């Protein structure tokens, strides 16, 4: 199985050379391999060019679950990633959260602009009366 992520730590190395899939699910796809900095094992890929059924994964860090170990904090144990259930986060959900953050930031900017206008008006009044 695969797990996709929008970011990684510097423990994952992005190989510079572009590879072409010659068999399996990556047949005909161009990709950069991802490897573990400490052991050198290929742990995944980043799609550069893909067929339409894999196009949605372009630009994401895709990991082979069979090649990754996870540390479970609560249980204090290491398990294979293929045994861990990762919550599915849809693009729609991510866009909804991003929209909420943008609305919040926009509101803050509007409030700051009003404050700035008030300060400028108060400053102009103070200069006029001086």
Q: Which residues contact 63 (CB under 8 A, 6 or more apart)?
A: 2, 3, 4, 5, 34, 43, 44, 81
pLDDT at 1 over 80: no
pLDDT higher at 86 or 25: 25
| pLDDT mean across residues, the chain | 81
Dihedral sign computed on CA atoms, order 44, 49, 50, 52: positive
Percent of the chain with pLDDT over 70: 76
Higher pLDDT, 33 or 59: 33
Q: Which pLDDT band, with edges at 50, 70 and 90, does 72 fall under?
A: low
Query: Residue 62 in 3-state DSSP?
Result: strand
- Going by their DSSP bridges, the two strands 12-20 and 61-64 should be labelled as unpaired
């Amino acid at each position: 199985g695969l797990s996709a992520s929008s970011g990684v730590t510097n423990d994952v190395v992005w190989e510079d050379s572009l590879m072409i899939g010659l068999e399996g699910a990556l047949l005909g796809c161009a990709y950069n391999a991802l490897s573990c900095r400490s052991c050198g094992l290929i742990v995944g890929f980043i799609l550069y060019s893909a067929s339409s059924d894999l196009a949605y994964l372009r630009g994401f860090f895709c990991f082979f679950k069979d090649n990754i170990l996870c540390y479970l904090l609560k249980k204090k144990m290491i398990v294979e990633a293929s045994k861990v259930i990762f919550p599915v986060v849809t693009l729609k959900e991510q866009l909804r959260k991003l929209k909420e953050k943008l609305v919040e930031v926009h509101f803050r900017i509007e409030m700051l602009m009003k404050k700035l206008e008030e300060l400028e008006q108060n400053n102009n009044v103070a200069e006029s009366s001086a």
